[in-house]
Amino acid sequence: MSPLRTLLVLGAGGHGKAVAEAALLSGEWQRVCFLDDRWPQLEVACGIDVIGDLDSLLEPGLSVAGGIAAVGNNSLREVWAARIKAAGIELVSIVHPRAWVSPSAHIGQGSAVLAMAVIGTDARLGQGAIVNAGAVVDHDVCIGDFAHLGVGVNLAGGVHIGALAWLQAGCNAGYGVSVESGDVVAPGTALQAKH
């Protein structure tokens, strides 16, 4: 019998729990474990074991097939992803089985695409991006490394989202809109291209 394919999730907060659940539902992972700095006070999250804090990454004997940094804070996610790679663990992406991803889309290492999200034709996600539940990334959209789309964000074709940008829940961006790296866009904002 082959060993269970185990995913390591850094961060057992709300986003981490959603990523862990998506991984298990996908069928690509048979086991998930968390590292979280609230350990040992936090031992279980969403029925999944928290096996140590983030420094446990460096301990010998951690046997996992891949890891993902699962925290909403973009800068922290970038640091954690680098720590996964430095520990010699493959940085992997997680796609919820109820998301729809075009066969021509590209999803960078360490990204999370959650339930009911849509990734359209020729869309490109950089490393460590988050496309949250119900978000729509239409054709030819480019999302930079460690950018974060909140729940229900809608991006029309050709939108460009810079690295580490955060579009909060319910934002809408019309065709050709560009969001600068590091920008934080308030919930419900409607963005239009400047003519």
Q: Where are the domains of the chain?
A: 6-92, 95-186
Cβ atoms of 89 and 71 within 8 Å: the answer is no
Q: Do domains 6-92 and 95-186 have the same CATH topology?
A: no
- pLDDT tens-digit readout, 10-49: 999 999 999 999 999 999 999 999 999 989 888 999 899 9
- pLDDT tens-digit readout, 58-86: 877 778 999 999 999 999 999 999 999 99
- pLDDT tens-digit readout, 114-123: 999 999 999 9
Beta bridge partners of 149: 131, 167
pLDDT grade for 153, boundaries at 50, 70 and 90: very high
6-92: CATH topology: Rossmann fold (3.40.50)
pLDDT grade for 1, boundaries at 50, 70 and 90: very low
- pLDDT tens-digit readout, 33-44: 999 998 988 899
For residue 168, the 8-state DSSP code is -
For tokens 């460096």, name the residue.
Answer: 58
Predicted TM-score of the model (pTM):
0.94
Determine if residue 123 is left, alpha or beta; phi over 0 gives left, psi from -120 to 50 gives alpha, anything else beta: beta
Q: What is the CATH number of domain 95-186?
A: 2.160.10.10
